[in-house]
Structure 1
Amino acid sequence: MTSLMSRRALFAAGGAALTMALAACTSEDPLAKQANAGDNKNYIAGDGTVHEFASTERKDPVAFNGTLFDGSTVDAKDYLGNVAVLNFWYAACAPCRIEAPDLQALYTDFKADGVEFLGVNVRDEKATAEAFERTFELSYPSVVDKDGGVLLAMTKFVPPSSVPTTLVLDKQGRVSARIMGVAEKGTLKALITSVLAES
């Protein structure tokens, strides 16, 4: 009887330890938690984590090309010499709707400084994307990326299911900062101002 009780106590302790270990693993990975939640919200929103890369830590210039919703084409090389902001979004993404007015405001604020903004729409048809742009009065262009071409080219910086994600590119076309999740206005403004000040 005592032996049976001891075994039960050991099993209970082991189960509790396993539960705590699993909780510790998942608590440090908010993206994994969302992916495993099974709530069918169709996006994984980052937690607003900001990564800023010192000039000496930046990799090669990004490379991508795509077609805008107006039919014109765009290439990463078009932005060389200017600071650029790339925002990955789609219309039904709730965090994308939260950040849209701030992105437009920052585009307006920094336009005179030569800062370029480019949306990368990862899911929508033209009519849906344009309705979103009208609703939030977005005046900067967006790439049609339903085929995932731009997203695939940027997977070093943008996890495929993490929308929204915002990248700031320096004048050499290198990623100087990344925000995974809603781009808080003050944070993004500081990141743009910082890279603009670089010689």
Structure 2
Amino acid sequence: MAHRRHPSARLVAALAASVLLAGCASGPSAEGGFVGGDGSLTVVPVAEREAAPQVTGELLGGGSFDSAEHAGKVIVYNVWGSWCAPCRKEAPALEAAAQATADRAQFVGINTRDLSQEPALAFTRAFGVTFPSVFDPDGRELLKFGTQLPPSAIPSTIVVDAEGRVAARVLGETTEATIRGLVDDVAAGK
């Protein structure tokens, strides 16, 4: 006798798959507490910038990170997950931007929603990402950004100026040219 799946089981499986993929979609979506980014860029005028939260945590592969140790330098946070296709696509561009701006900016990944470090470490090896990443599986570090330009899409990139204020955010996949331009402007006090 052949086993037949109940139609509702297929529906539940399809819904579960869509929720897992929603955090990394190419178009806007509010499922799973994240939205898919459209590459939109927000730049905050210098006079309107607010203090960025202190980001701390365990680094992938060991060690710890504390943003307070990078005071006086531009910090570029990139929120990513090993499961995210746009994250894979933008990783080489971010690494190139990090290398090109190393004298004026510290790049830091915030790895989210990976349940263990193994897939995240495999991602960094596969894409040659050399800048450190904070392991943030439950999004605690992301929540610190509150309503002030929250990194609600995966991927998201946030640029913090040398005074420790949120200067810019890109929701969704970005390019080397965009990030280099943001770092150059923010480092120049713009």
What TM-score results when the alignment is normalised by the length of structure 2?
0.79
CA distance in 1: counterparts of 2:58 and 2:70, whole angstroms: 15
Gap runs ≥5 in structure 1: 1-29
Match of 2:88 in 1: 97
CA distance in 2: counterparts of 1:45 and 1:55, whole angstroms: 27
2:59–2:133 CA contact under 8 A, matched in 1: yes
CA distance in 1: counterparts of 2:110 and 2:175, whole angstroms: 18
Match of 1:158 among 150, 160, 163: 150
Gap runs ≥5 in structure 2: 1-26
CA distance in 2: counterparts of 1:188 and 1:86, whole angstroms: 11
What TM-score results when the alignment is normalised by the length of structure 1?
0.75
Identity over aligned pairs, percent: 36
Give 1:94 shift.
0.9
- The change in CA–CA distance for 1:121 and 1:53 in structure 2 (over 3 A counts) is same
Question: What letter corresponds to residue 99 of structure 2 in structure 1?
Answer: T
Question: What letter corresponds to residue 100 of structure 1 in structure 2?
Answer: A
Question: What letter corresponds to residue 116 of structure 1 in structure 2?
Answer: Q
2:60–2:133 CA contact under 8 A, matched in 1: yes
Give 1:62 shift.
2.2
Please provide the CA RMSD for this pair.
2.0
Give 1:177 shift.
0.5
Q: Does 1:108 align with 2:103?
A: no
1:66–1:149 CA contact under 8 A, matched in 2: no
**Equivalent runs, 1:49-88 vs 2, <5 Å:** 49-88=40-79
Match of 1:121 in 2: 111
CA distance in 1: counterparts of 2:104 and 2:180, whole angstroms: 14
The number of residue pairs the alignment matches comes to: 162
Give 1:159 shift.
4.6
Give 1:198 shift.
1.7
Bigger radius of gyration: 1
Q: Which moved more, 1:121-130 or 1:69-78?
A: 69-78
CA distance in 2: counterparts of 1:173 and 1:187, whole angstroms: 20
Which 4+ runs in 1 deviate beyond 3 A?
none
Match of 2:129 in 1: 138
CA distance in 2: counterparts of 1:49 and 1:70, whole angstroms: 32
SS of residue in 1 equivalent to 2:163? coil
Give 1:115 shift.
1.1
